Amino acid sequence: MTLIYSILLISLQPTTDEQPIPWTFKPRIQIAMAVSSQSIDSLAPTKPSLTEISTSAFFRRLSFDMRGMPPSPEEIQEFLGTPEKDRVVRWVNRFLDSPAFGEKQAQSWLDAVRFAETNGFEADGDRPHAWRYRDWVIEAMNLDMPYDRFIMAQIAGDLMGPADFPGLSPEEARKQGLIATGFHRCGPAHMVSGNVDKAQLRNEFLTEATTTLGSAILGLTIQCARCHDHKFDPITQDDYYRLQAFLARIEPTDTALATAADTAALAAIRVSIEMRMAPIRKTIGQIDEPARKAALRAKIARLPTDVRKVMDIPTAKRTADETALLQRFQPAIKVEWDDVIAQLSPSQLKTRSELKSRLVELLRSMPPPSAHAWGVKEGPAVVHHLLKRGQVNAQGPVAAPGFPEALKGSVPPVQGNDRMALARWLTSPANPLTARVAVNRIWRQYFGSGLVQPAEDDFGSRANPAQQKLLDFLAQELVRNNWSTKAIHRLIATSAAYRGTEFPGNAPRRRRLTSEEIRDSVQFISGTLNTRMGGPGVRITLEPEVLDLIFTEAEPDGLWLTPAKKSEEARRSVYLLAKRNVKVPLLEAFDQPDLLNPCSKRPDSTHAPQALIMWNSPWMRDQARLTGKRASLAGPTSDQQVEALFLYIYNRPSTPAERSLALNAAKSSNGLTDLALAMYNSNGFLYAD
């Protein structure tokens, strides 16, 4: 044990040898060539395969990669009818202009910054205004906001002026800037009541904000240098705290966006509803209180005699030993919600249930809080310190705002010590990391794996430079096109390489749909998808076992309010409430990130619960029934109905062998429903190609 302990101690010591500068920290290679859809092919490390996938398979691939949903049969027919020479460019542009484009593309950014609408940890409290940041990201993607401005607004939007938001009024520019700074608050936050160390909580907040910045924008594991110099990358502990010093003044704040008149009108509505709820709550309390007292008496009756005698002694007259004895038995007499319910008679339970239903309906009618920007503001000047071993009570030297030393040879000095200086440094055309990380993320969406391998979005010393020319060409084009991300999407999606079965240097593409794509596509195919955009996160109906995970010591009923309109539950998955401690089983089973750690690339697992959910969940079976019903309207014959299912779910005609099997399956009483369910469970649906 002594030897192991010594090795661990040595491994935790700061690295004294100077780390070599990775190629990712150095200036980009300048590629001089005419830009066309063939540029990507010419920069491949070896000659690309000319084997192209079928036309229908390509269109399915394009639809999923650009907007996260399959094409409709009508779109397939229109695509095939488009002249071949114009087909790809026309449909790429059409998908780029689709509102669904932003909803799809925003998801990878939200993964990277760990966006959620709750704080995490045991209380997992709500963030009622966080959704505006999510909507801001989606809108920015759809408007093709220049990527440098996209980053700058998130880093220092509260410090920017109207000129930084072209086309917006000064007031709207102010609002957009404030909302964008929600970027700094996306990480989990330890928000609990009781005796907490404010300095520790502040350090946790700055740690999360620095982690998000490093991972999402620079593609670096900067957080590894919080306690000691980075073990792999040329990032010292001094670098970490100098970079964090730019953020040291920020304070989380919910800034009012609504006018005073709007706020007052909303408050009046809320008060009116509260007044209607008050008598209902009072009546429920009159039912509950006697039951609570009866439950307490029953628990006290089961205590040992000596403990009950001590309880009869007035508090002021109890000895220290008697007080300690009662403290030991407090958990035994704590009345839980189930204890209260057990004391109620069937008639009381019925009356209470009716009252609770009325109360829940009123709660559903309660308007959301007045509009606020969930962001940050600049607080008073502070003296920031390096923390020895990352411990808040072990302050080291003063850490003034500054940039990592290893990047100073690539990025010209930027004047200033506030977040605007940090934003200018991050978005400098000379910064070798920002543009590389951005285009690598886009490339991965189309080819399944990034150009930086094997570490994906880790642009540190372990990054493989095999595809550097192609990566730097795309980064160069991003900057040259005024940081237009849509220009990069267009360049990749219209290339011959994208139509191929694989790309040299990348593993053969076999992309399974993401969890959100699965859910959204099933709803799209069944005809239930609600395409309304934006707004607060939606709580959908969950299984009782999942609802039990919600942290509460009181009545659980009414804590998870689903929408009054059932159609609201059929919104796209990006609009579902992103709660850290409660996940939608379907999304969790298919590798939705945990929302606690930055996620640059989702895992792609295969396990039994995926099949169990896809086959047996009430939601999937209902969607299969609706899909079968929709197919039954495609024509009077079984041939037409089966062929419709293939177009809906696989986006292609059936083969003769498939048609024969499907027609046999369709003969049973639940034929189309069961056939649709089986097709949803097949690789033909679950994989984009």
388-403 pLDDT tens trace: 999 999 999 999 999 9
The yes-or-no verdict on residue 608 having pLDDT over 90 is: yes
The per-residue pLDDT of the chain, averaged, comes to 91
Mean pLDDT to the nearest integer, 104-124: 94
Question: Residue written as tokens 């009159």?
Answer: 286
Residue 233's alpha-carbon distances to 246, 267, 457, 587, in angstroms, are: 21, 53, 14, 34
The mean pLDDT value for 123-133 works out to: 94
How many beta carbons lie within 10 A of that of residue 467, not counting itself? 23
Indicate if the pLDDT at residue 222 is higher than 70.
Answer: yes
For the segment 466-473, the average pLDDT, to the nearest whole number, is 91
- So what's the pLDDT on residue 616? 94
What confidence tens digit (pLDDT) does each residue in 161-200 have? 999 999 999 999 999 999 999 999 999 998 876 667 889 9
DSSP label at residue 506:
S
Mapped onto helix, strand or coil, the DSSP state of residue 348 is helix
**Nearest in space to 510 (alpha carbons), one of 86, 108, 9, 61:** 61
Q: Using the predicted structure, report yes or no on whether residue 71 has a pLDDT greater than 90.
A: yes
The pLDDT of residue 554 is above 80? no
- Residue range 354-364, pLDDT digits in tens: 999 999 999 99
pLDDT exceeds 80 at position 15: no
Task: pLDDT band for 49, please (50, 70, 90 cuts).
Answer: low
pLDDT of 2 higher than 90: no
- Which long-range CB contacts under 8 A does 77-86 form with residues at least 24 apart? 80/55, 80/56
pLDDT at 456: 62
Sequence-separated (6 or more) residues with CB below 8 Å from residue 379: 249, 250, 251
State the pLDDT at residue 454. 65
SS3 state at 20: coil
278: left (phi over 0), alpha (psi -120 to 50) or beta: alpha
Question: Which residue blocks in 188-336 are alpha helix, DSSP H?
Answer: 198-213, 237-245, 260-301, 305-311, 320-333
Q: Residue 316, exposed/middle/buried by CB under 10 A (0-12, 13-18, 19+)? A: exposed
Local confidence band at 102 (pLDDT 50, 70, 90 cut-offs): very high
Chain Cα centroid distance, residue 347: 45
Q: Are 127 and 119 in contact (CB under 8 A)?
A: yes
pLDDT at site 47: 67
Position 5 pLDDT exceeds 50: no
The partner residues of 255 in beta bridges, in order of sequence, read 373
Q: Is 80 exceeded by the pLDDT of residue 506?
A: no
* CB contact set of 506 (below 8 Å; sequence gap of 6+): 447, 448, 449
Res. 1: pLDDT tops 90:
no
Which residue would you say has higher pLDDT here, 476 or 194?
A: 476
Residue 389 and residue 56: Cα distance in Å, rounded? 56
How is the chain split among helix, strand and coil, in percent rounded to 5?
A: 55, 5, 40
Question: Does the pTM of the predicted model rise above 0.85?
Answer: yes
Q: Per residue in 524-547, pLDDT tens?
A: 999 999 999 999 999 999 988 888
DSSP 408-450: TTTS-----SSHHHHHHHHT-TT-TTHHHHHHHHHHHHHHSS-
**pLDDT for 622 beyond 90:** yes
pLDDT of 224-259, one tens digit each? 999 999 998 999 999 999 999 999 999 999 999 999
* Other CB atoms within 10 Å distance of the CB of residue 472: 23
- Mean pLDDT value across residues 471-484: 96
CA 204 to chain CA mean position, Å:
20
Contacts 24+ apart (CB under 8 A), 8-14: 12/228, 13/228, 14/228, 14/229, 14/237
pLDDT tops 60 at residue 35: yes
Q: Does residue 12 surpass a pLDDT of 90?
A: no
